[in-house]
Structure 1
Amino acid sequence: MKIEIKTGGKRSVISHLKKNYGLSNAVATIIARRSDESFFVMPWERKELEEIEGEITASKFIKANKDLKTRVIGDYDIDGVMSTFILVDGLRSFGMNVDYYLPKRKTDGYGLNPNIVKKAIEDKVEMLITCDNGICAHESVQIAKENGLKVVVTDHHIPSDTLPNADVICNPHLSKSPEQCGATVAYKIIRHLLDDMPNKYFEAMAFATVGDVMPLLGENRQIVQEGLEMMEQSKWEFLNVLVDLAENPQYASNRITARDIGFTFGPCINAAGRMSDAEIAERLCLCDDKNELVKGVRGLIDLNEQRKELCTVATEEAIQKVNKEDKILVVCLENASDSIVGIIAGRLVEQFYRPAIVLTHMPDGTLKGSCRSTDNYNIYEGLKECEKYLTRFGGHKKAAGLGLEEKNLDTFRREINANCKEIFEKKIVCDIRLAKVKTSVLLVREISTLEPFGEGNPEPIFAKDVVITSLRRCGKENQCILVFCESGDKGIAFDGDEFEENLNSLFGKEKVQKVFDAKDTLSCTLAFRLSESEYNGNSEVSLLILGAK
């Protein structure tokens, strides 16, 4: 484990943030070191959402073809569900005859395909609108066009070298706009068709922005900030029931946070598409009947619990199959559902700090998989270099999907590893080094100014030189370690075994054991996040310890 502490930060930016926003030097420095003040959007400085390539053209085209029987084709993940909700509900409010179809993960696969188009033709659909998919669906779009259908592609994924032959394409990548989710693309089209945009569309856009792991910078940050505020007074019945029934006490607070969406509410929506049919979640998004919503949301929660159990088993299998000599981990599971391989890949990245590709066997004899990557490796480009071995691939720099013939698996694994020049090492990057005095509750509260935390804007990590005076095991199975410092700071390492191993490597087992026995001390630099808790009515600061050097 390596611990680094950021340096720098333009003094002019730090001064500007302190003067204009009343921030402390520590928080202003964190912002300046991360980028500049441009991502730091205060509530009173919010701007109109920027226009992306094709949004006005798409809205005009839809308006001109308002009387056509229309079908929205979404996706089975949280972004696909939310973008479909915004388009379907918005177009219905605009007075259009519109239905929708979400591809079935097991039988349809991702996005618009020829069979979906043929079914639309049979149903006498006259216009197809994709959301969160379609930018690479060349064959399917062509079939639709040849059969007289109008086609509008709205998507946020990276286009290939050629574009599908759609009537209109709306995609932020075509104008080199910042990365946005499919729900944001959908929202930006609908805003030109309705005079009064309901808050629930903005809330759905914020939900998808977090759930689809978009960078929470600039406009995305503003979307999530505003969306979270709207959720506090939400009139969207589905969201209110979901929050009431799925709230996890571990993350519960007086307000909904991006963390709640990412770790509690979002997985319940994704569970529908992973374990059954995303149509279940979509129907609930569009529903206003309280009794039906309660029953349906409980079903989503049950599906998510089943998903957790499957993931636990599959993760254990994947860890056993990892070739630790590889830079890019490529694992093929025997019986895992393709709906969970992305989650397993993410867990391998967390454990081994290397990009991971997890595949599973499909009924047709091929392999299907998902990839997750580290910050310093573009997995999409890695797949592109090996595309001759793949039947399909697509995605982003940190997450992608792929398919290949089993006979090409070993060759693919060797080549993607041979092409990789990056070095992977687990490291903790601290935003700032704090003074040796006891950490203030005021600092913890000021950090909330930087929320929402998530991709691109992680919760700050601090470094501090300390003298550890005592260590104590705690937790049901003694899995955690309490840390007491000479400065008065108290902390906890939730992965006690990893932290103890970290200390042993620095000071030796004998000396560390003496500190457990309160017979010696350790001088080191701790890396940690901050948390505020209450004890006997008093607020206390806890260091959530990540490592030491």
Structure 2
Amino acid sequence: MSETSIETALAGGELALPSPGPSPKSHPKSPASFPAQRWQIFPAQKSQADHIAAVTALSPLLAQVLINRGIYTPEQSWEFLDPETIQLPSPLCEFPDLEKSLELLEQAITLEEKILICGDYDADGMTSTALLMRSLRYLGAQVAYAIPSRMHEGYGINQRMVEDFHAAGGNLILTVDNGITAYAPISRAKELGLTIILTDHHDLPEQLPPADAILNPKLIRESSPYRGVAGVGVAYVLAVCLAQRLNKQQDLTATLLALFTLGTIADLAPLTGVNRRWVKRGLKLLPKSLIPGVQALIEVAGLSKETALRPEAIGFRLGPRINAVGRIADPQIVIDLLTTDDVGVALQQAMQCEEANLLRREMCQIIEKQAIEWCDAQIESGLINLQKERVLVVVQPDWHHGVIGIVASRLVERYGVPVFIGTYEDENKKEIRGSARSIPEFNVFEALTFCDDLMNKYGGHQAAGGFSFRSNKLRQVKSRLSNFARKHLQPDHLKPLIKVDVHAPLEEVTLDLYQQLDQIHPCGIKNPDPVFWTAAVTIVEQKVIGKNSDHLKLTMAHKASDDAQKVVMKAIAWRWAEYYPLPRILDIAYKLRLNEWKGHRTVELDLVGVRPSKPAPQTKAGIHPWSGSQGEAKIATPSPYPNKNIQLIDSSPSADLAKEQPADSSDLSLVAEQSHLRAQTQLANYSSECYSVLESVARLDIEFYHSKRLYKGTLETNDDEKQLTIENGEGHLLVVQMSQQKGFLYLSAETPQAVDVAELPYSNLIRAGLSALEIKQKTHLLAKYEELLAKKDGQIDAMKAQIELLKEKIAQLSSKQQS
């Protein structure tokens, strides 16, 4: 990005800014203050990272990033870097109702039946609608679309839409990005004799609607590469499979891929599985898209000179312009934009998207300022205690429904707690409608489900959701959400989480490293942009910039060692003006950005976190997967079972000798034998203690750390025999038959080796694995117990409500008798 475009963005121009830091308060904090953050730094695995770097030609820094993403072997690395090499299963084998959906659509096209696409007003819903409109028209269908009013009807298919379509002689309804919770409207459609194909990707309710076919990735196996598709991904699979069935896929797939890419990134779908493969392909095709509306949108967003797009270009430039229309204008603008073949119409609609986005931005700024002022006043007066309530519920009149979700995200960044923000539906303030945004440890959909009896309507997923309820239930909703939050959040969770990948001296942050990031891309949900950190960086210069003086621009210097040359780099910290001036020496966490100016390209830092300076991590070679005494340096390992009354044997061969000081070799043999027997006994005792918790488990999978290495463990029960399998990052397996205390080591394709599980490297690893399994099972049982308590709380609340109702009726009867 050029200096000019950065300054345009800072002046409130085109770029929708990322949001790593809090929004500024009206009164800045005292100097040298810090953002309230918690850093989670992935453990360095240098030897494994060096191995992956050697076979992939990546920087060891990015090899460590791959390890952090769960990619441990060269084979996994090659598949991640080139997803086109992966053999995908047919979606017909993955989605149970896909074949039936294709039959119903083929029949409707053949019989010239009327098809109605019921879409949604967010980017995912609108791109899904446009994608199916384009494909079904191309395939000869009689198709129309309908999207509910955000202001007057809210999310998803409703009974009015069903009734209108039936009255118009319609035959088949196809929902996109909605419908999975719409039991009543779908039931009504079936009563009227309509055929329903429901496509959605949101979390499943307890009772599924009675549709003829349901396509939802939440209904397929968790390991499926299609599991993470958004609504537009389901629509893409359906459209491409239908075109292939009718032998008309030529020239269609590439066109639809542009819409898939727009919707997937704008909806923040995970960029793993088929999403990564198709988005990586789609980002290259977007600048050359044959859809006039896509070209017009790229033009007004200032991206027309780009030969390939990055996900942030969609997330911060194209996506907001689409979403803005759905939030505050008529979604028909976007549908027309993405379905027209008229260049003039497309440019006109794109300009309307631009105007809507400018208005949306102004509305967000106003509402965000009002919300922060209200929250700060409530906190300062003691009316809100976030440490106690652990959730923030904000309801104010005259806020626009379409933008409060964005404001909710800003409040989460600022206060570090889940936020439920709402406004009144009507002048009489009888109905509240709102949006929720969350932190990683809090599930929004589960929280709303916990309030099921208080809600008129709700939906969503882990990180976000929407809801509506009667305003006279506001106090109960606040109380219920707070109860849920206290059960699931610890006080330490109430700080924004910064996940940090790897330590990097600034001398290693080069243009070559930035260019290698292209191999990691596309980045997004579940494959976030790498976050580096550098210790003890000196701030040479810092100043407040931006139209509203919201941001910090900094110059930073760093020396990796006393003998190294000082490296100086520029940095930007979005919406951190309130922390000006930052202390002179800091640890910094950052992403990389490219600055282009007059043909000169330099790497700059995009700050996401700072903290008081701590010593830089020491580089270690690490340990081999099943390291024993073959010359490896021993690393002291804390006990994985602190509450167990077991004495760990030092892994150093000389530890027991130092204690016993035997006189001759026979004594040495006796000590070794006693040590071995003691290890066997302790392992057997600990295994039996774990079995009391793990007895009823047929299969349990976990990931755990031991000696600073990540392992995967599986405990399986077959015919009363428990088998523990532990896998390290290199794919080596340790298989233990627990009742017989037998172990076998599998190294690549070699013949399995029998090992003595009582030997310290193995016994300590096995106990660490069993401890992790025990903790996971206890956590699962505790969650079930909390779920039962939650149900009891719900029953108590219902009884209290009934008692209040009875009291009101008694009072009414009493007053009637007196009169």
Q: Same fold (TM over 0.5)?
A: yes
Distance 2:522 2:288 in 1: 18
Verify the 8 A CA contact 2:337 2:346 in the aligned structure 1.
yes
Verify the 8 A CA contact 1:528 1:544 in the aligned structure 2.
yes
1:357 is aligned, of 420, 445, 450, to 420
Are 1:31 and 2:66 matched, yes or no?
A: yes
Are 1:328 and 2:391 matched, yes or no?
A: yes
Query: Residue 426 of structure 1: CA displacement?
Result: 2.3
2:291 is aligned, of 225, 236, 254, to 236
Classify the secondary structure of the residue corresponding to 2:567.
coil
Are 1:417 and 2:453 matched, yes or no?
A: no
Moved more, 53-62 or 34-43: 34-43
Partner residue, 1:79: 124
Distance 1:221 1:492 in 2: 29
Query: Residue 440 of structure 1: CA displacement?
Result: 2.2
Classify the secondary structure of the residue corresponding to 2:457.
strand
Classify the secondary structure of the residue corresponding to 2:242.
coil
Moved more, 300-309 or 424-433: 424-433
Are 1:62 and 2:105 matched, yes or no?
A: yes
Partner residue, 1:406: 471
Verify the 8 A CA contact 1:360 1:367 in the aligned structure 2.
yes
Deviations 1:255-309 (A, max 9, x none): 3221111111111112222112111111121101111111111111111111111
Deviations 1:24-74 (A, max 9, x none): 211111111122247824154254475242222211221133222111111
Matches within 5 A, 1:362-401: 362-363=425-426, 365-401=430-466
1:544 is aligned, of 583, 601, 606, to 606
1:475 is aligned, of 514, 532, 545, to 545
Classify the secondary structure of the residue corresponding to 2:196.
strand
Output the amino acid matched with 2:369: E
Classify the secondary structure of the residue corresponding to 1:108.
coil
Matches within 5 A, 1:56-455: 56-66=99-109, 67=111, 68-177=113-222, 178-194=227-243, 195=247, 196=249, 197-247=252-302, 253-322=306-375, 323-324=378-379, 325-326=385-386, 327-363=390-426, 365-420=430-485, 421-422=488-489, 423-435=493-505, 437=507, 439-455=509-525
Query: Residue 541 of structure 1: CA displacement?
Result: 2.7
Moved more, 240-249 or 206-215: 240-249
Distance 1:114 1:536 in 2: 58
Query: Residue 83 of structure 1: CA displacement?
Result: 1.0
User: Percent identity over the alignment?
Assistant: 26
Moved more, 237-246 or 533-542: 533-542
Output the amino acid matched with 1:488: V
Classify the secondary structure of the residue corresponding to 1:377.
coil
In the alignment, structure 1 segments of 5+ residues that lack a partner are 504-511, 513-521
Classify the secondary structure of the residue corresponding to 2:456.
strand
Moved more, 257-266 or 29-38: 29-38
Deviation >6 Å, runs of 4+: none
1:40 is aligned, of 80, 87, 90, to 80
In the alignment, structure 2 segments of 5+ residues that lack a partner are 1-36, 380-384, 559-565, 613-819
Relative to structure 1, the CA distance from residue 436 to residue 384 in structure 2 (aligned partners, 3 Å threshold; closer, same or farther) is same
Classify the secondary structure of the residue corresponding to 2:188.
helix
Query: Residue 118 of structure 1: CA displacement?
Result: 0.5
Relative to structure 1, the CA distance from residue 469 to residue 97 in structure 2 (aligned partners, 3 Å threshold; closer, same or farther) is closer
Distance 2:602 2:122 in 1: 39
**Which structure would you say has the larger Rg?**
2
Query: Residue 10 of structure 1: CA displacement?
Result: 9.1
Output the amino acid matched with 1:448: D
Taking only aligned residues, the RMSD between alpha carbons, in angstroms, comes to 2.3
Distance 1:213 1:270 in 2: 12
Classify the secondary structure of the residue corresponding to 1:192.
helix
Partner residue, 1:516: none
Distance 2:176 2:599 in 1: 50
Output the amino acid matched with 1:163: L
Are 1:7 and 2:59 matched, yes or no?
A: no
Classify the secondary structure of the residue corresponding to 1:160.
coil
Verify the 8 A CA contact 1:491 1:545 in the aligned structure 2.
no
Partner residue, 2:590: 528
Query: Residue 187 of structure 1: CA displacement?
Result: 1.1
Relative to structure 1, the CA distance from residue 439 to residue 133 in structure 2 (aligned partners, 3 Å threshold; closer, same or farther) is closer
Partner residue, 2:570: 491
Alignment size in residue pairs: 528
Verify the 8 A CA contact 1:77 1:273 in the aligned structure 2.
yes
Distance 1:438 1:29 in 2: 14
Verify the 8 A CA contact 2:228 2:272 in the aligned structure 1.
no
Distance 2:302 2:532 in 1: 29
Verify the 8 A CA contact 2:394 2:421 in the aligned structure 1.
yes
Query: Residue 247 of structure 1: CA displacement?
Result: 2.4
Partner residue, 1:509: none
Verify the 8 A CA contact 1:40 1:218 in the aligned structure 2.
no
Query: Residue 202 of structure 1: CA displacement?
Result: 1.1
Relative to structure 1, the CA distance from residue 442 to residue 389 in structure 2 (aligned partners, 3 Å threshold; closer, same or farther) is same
Distance 1:466 1:234 in 2: 46
Distance 1:492 1:500 in 2: 14
Query: Residue 394 of structure 1: CA displacement?
Result: 0.8
Partner residue, 1:466: 536
Output the amino acid matched with 2:372: I
Relative to structure 1, the CA distance from residue 65 to residue 534 in structure 2 (aligned partners, 3 Å threshold; closer, same or farther) is closer
Moved more, 156-165 or 464-473: 464-473
Relative to structure 1, the CA distance from residue 158 to residue 6 in structure 2 (aligned partners, 3 Å threshold; closer, same or farther) is same
Deviations 1:508-549 (A, max 9, x none): xxxx4xxxxxxxxx3x42222222334565443323333233
Classify the secondary structure of the residue corresponding to 1:382.
helix
Verify the 8 A CA contact 1:489 1:543 in the aligned structure 2.
no
Output the amino acid matched with 2:204: P
Verify the 8 A CA contact 1:74 1:84 in the aligned structure 2.
yes
